[in-house]
Structure 1
Amino acid sequence: MSITGLRWAGPRALLVELTDLASVLALHHRLQAEPLPGQLDAIAGAATVLVKFASRFHTGSARELIPSFDLTKRVQDTGNEITIEVVYDGEDLGEVGRLTGLGADGVIAAHTGQVWTGAFGGFAPGFTYLVGENDSLNVPRRSSPRTAVPAGSVALGGAFSAVYPRQSPGGWQLLGHTSAVMWDLGRESPALVRPGDTVRYVSVRESVPVQGGTAAKQAGAEAVAAGPAASATGPGLIVKAPGLQSLVQDLGRPGLGDLGVSPSGAADQRSARQANRLVGNGPGAAVVESLLGGLAVRARGDQVLAVSGAPAGLEVRDSARTLLRRPALHAPFALLDGETLTIDAPSAGVRNYLGVRGGLDVPPVLGSRSSDTMSGIGPAPLTPGTFLPVAPVTGVQPVGIPEEALPSRGALPVLRVTLGPRDDWFGPDALKVLTGQQWLVTEQSNRIGVRLAPPGEGTPEQGRPLERTREGELPSEGTVAGALQVPPNGHPVLFLADHPVTGGYPVIAVVVPEDLPVAAQLPPGQHVRFAVVDPHTLAPVDQDTSQEFAVSTASEGNQP
């Protein structure tokens, strides 16, 4: 049991490589029991642990400490023992019997005859990868994934078993189903199974619903609405038009990676903080994030508002639709009772942030008012008639001044990246392609990630995709916002706020946190470039030496 490598995953995270799953669990348990200074999260993977920190200073300090950890002295497990009743009627039971040579009855006996241990979370809230005591049920994933796997499906994928907590796409082999509620926000610990817990599957003819949850919660219906205006009282904002997409956001819910919960939060946190600062709120107050304009809200009671983010025109009209004034962006202004504010489409960028003095007082979920578009956790997307209550103002907060503006229309954004953690899956030529050409933002981009393509695809002047030098699949491991994950087509995806907790494609580089606000404002059709910097100092790294630099900082002399 030992640590074999230590890789940068951006300037504020480290990916620790280990010899085996027992070492993964040992390190993860230690980091959970005794967090390092500045540690925000520790996410176990199949052969790694990703550790996120609050600053570059904390990351550098941890880089010196972690290699000295003795993982042979694992703290006594304190996980729960859980029994899951399963009806073995899965569509793939016969196929698994054929692949393993055990037959259907033998598969059931092998699945129920061993203890399974929670190894790591990911994919979806409440989805925990379980590892068994032997390798008898190690089967490949389906060659053609299903577009919808029902909630409660019990499945095998590779060396792991798991239960799907909600309906979702999936390529695992289905053995049966259970009524056990894997994810329930009504419980003190929403996930039924967490890393370190032990699970025993029990075969039954009919499954009995587990107390303490509902099918809706198991299926992932965690979104909470702010409520219709007709039934609401008190001061607030009434949504007249939500535009393309408007969501309630704050600074997110970090530290829940083990539950499969993404940090989420405002995609452009700099602009969200600015909107709050302009109206005298604390930085974590809830705001409205609006995509590509069109948001219109009417005041119930006199309110103080500010809009930040992408440059866009603002209009205030009365109940007769008469134009009263055009407030300035990045400045506080009054919206009196009955008046309506409309945000026009941005002239550059894509996202605006509407802050209101006091902050939006919608119910928090897992300690945050953020809407997570991938998992469905948090407030539901705004719709016409939604009422957003405003919290009473308490204390005195300073009112701030505008920060640095977004790049102007026509300017070419250059995002700084640190190489790794999996740049060694690519050769020097791919690294030159990454930084030597522009990349096009595609229309498939969203809060989960900015999807990029080589410029001029389909034309004689088209750019080149990123080509791997290593074959095979990467075992699932933790990811960070800013990661440039590269699928087999070589078109990188730049992860944003709602990114998955774990991923299986190699990450060639990570955009530094300071540049994520610019990344979150990239519109479809925009071109962008990348420049390599040192994770210690963020100083530029010469292109000719970037590959040598990446190798020298990937680990302490150990490469996978």
Structure 2
Amino acid sequence: MRELPAGADAVLLDFATDSAPAAAVSEAAAAVWRAVEAGALPHVTDVIASAHTLLVQAEHGRGIDILGIHRALRAGRLALEDAPADDSADVVSIPVVYDGPDLADVAALLGVDEDHVVGIHQETVWRVQFMGFAPGFGYLVPHDDPDHMFREIGRRAESRTRVPVGAVAIAAGYSAVYPRESPGGWHLLGHTVTTVWDERSDPPALLEPGRLVRFIPADPGPDPS
């Protein structure tokens, strides 16, 4: 991990050289938030994760407690080592109809059939690594598999000008649900009717960094033919 200054009241923790950067960022974010909630980092106001980095922001003029952050990270590692395996963690289940226009192309790129792609997507436990692109858009990474086969699938050669709300997609090892209609260059595997962003709700976003997600089969409904 590298520490990069981000002004007088913030520090950027860079985990790019770790063997599993996404997991390291997620674990560090959880450790820092636990320290904040316990009162050990009283002036920290925000913890913002990205693919390989974690920004820790303190109140203006308070400076950043580097030693306190190190203590929090160390306590987090010890807690992980001592914690028993827990299969009952809170997991968000998102029903998906796998009717996406790119499903066949993804299968061809991986050299498998479409059912295999669907099976891999559903069997994977996904973790929200960070939020971005649009309100409610969570970048999901495989929770315990940094070498997941979907890493072989990049973005589409040509982006779409319109991706419908609820589209379920993959790209570059991530999966996501489009929270609203927007342009997009990810491969569309299917769609869900689950709302992942509703500004009238509290909180408005269904997903948040660190949340675990499973995609489950949904009833496709009656055949219109």
Q: Into which bin does the TM-score normalised by the smaller protein fall? A: 0.7 to 0.9
Q: 1:137 aligns with which of 146, 150, 153?
A: 150
Match of 1:12 in 2: 9
Q: 1:63 aligns with which of 58, 62, 66?
A: 66
**Native 8 Å contact 1:7 1:16 kept in 2:** yes
Corresponding letter in the other structure for 1:13 = A
Match of 1:206 in 2: 220
Match of 1:267 in 2: none
Q: How many residues matched?
A: 202
**Native 8 Å contact 2:10 2:63 kept in 1:** no
Counterpart Cα distance in 2 of 1:130 and 1:53: 27
**Native 8 Å contact 2:150 2:171 kept in 1:** no
Matching of residue 39 in structure 1 with residue 44 in structure 2 = yes
Match of 1:128 in 2: 138
Counterpart Cα distance in 1 of 2:55 and 2:89: 21
Unaligned 5+ residue runs, structure 1? 208-560
> How big is each residue's C-alpha offset from its partner over 1:475-524, in whole Å with a ceiling of 9 and x where there is no partner?
xxxxxxxxxxxxxxxxxxxxxxxxxxxxxxxxxxxxxxxxxxxxxxxxxx
Q: What is the CA-CA distance between 1:79 and the residue it aligns to?
A: 6.0
Match of 1:86 in 2: 96
Matching of residue 102 in structure 1 with residue 112 in structure 2 = yes
**Native 8 Å contact 1:79 1:196 kept in 2:** no
- TM-score in terms of structure 1 length: 0.34
> How big is each residue's C-alpha offset from its partner over 1:306-355, in whole Å with a ceiling of 9 and x where there is no partner?
xxxxxxxxxxxxxxxxxxxxxxxxxxxxxxxxxxxxxxxxxxxxxxxxxx
Give the structure with the higher percent helix: 2
Over 3 Å counting, the alpha-carbon distance change for 1:143 and 1:10 in structure 2 is farther
CA RMSD of aligned residues (A): 2.2
Unaligned 5+ residue runs, structure 2? none
**Native 8 Å contact 1:90 1:174 kept in 2:** yes
Instruction: Please state whether the residue corresponding to 1:112 is helix, strand or coil.
Output: helix
Match of 2:178 in 1: 164
Instruction: Please state whether the residue corresponding to 1:119 is helix, strand or coil.
Output: strand
Instruction: Please state whether the residue corresponding to 2:137 is helix, strand or coil.
Output: strand
Corresponding letter in the other structure for 2:12 = L
Over 3 Å counting, the alpha-carbon distance change for 1:56 and 1:144 in structure 2 is farther
Q: Moved runs in structure 1, 4+ residues, more than 3 A?
A: 74-79
Counterpart Cα distance in 1 of 2:101 and 2:178: 15
Counterpart Cα distance in 2 of 1:205 and 1:102: 24
Instruction: Please state whether the residue corresponding to 2:149 is helix, strand or coil.
Output: coil
Matching of residue 190 in structure 1 with residue 204 in structure 2 = yes
**Native 8 Å contact 2:32 2:69 kept in 1:** no
Match of 1:29 in 2: 30
Counterpart Cα distance in 1 of 2:103 and 2:180: 20
Corresponding letter in the other structure for 2:91 = E
Counterpart Cα distance in 1 of 2:90 and 2:217: 20
Instruction: Please state whether the residue corresponding to 1:124 is helix, strand or coil.
Output: coil
Counterpart Cα distance in 2 of 1:74 and 1:101: 41
Instruction: Please state whether the residue corresponding to 1:27 is helix, strand or coil.
Output: helix
Counterpart Cα distance in 1 of 2:13 and 2:118: 35
Instruction: Please state whether the residue corresponding to 1:179 is helix, strand or coil.
Output: coil
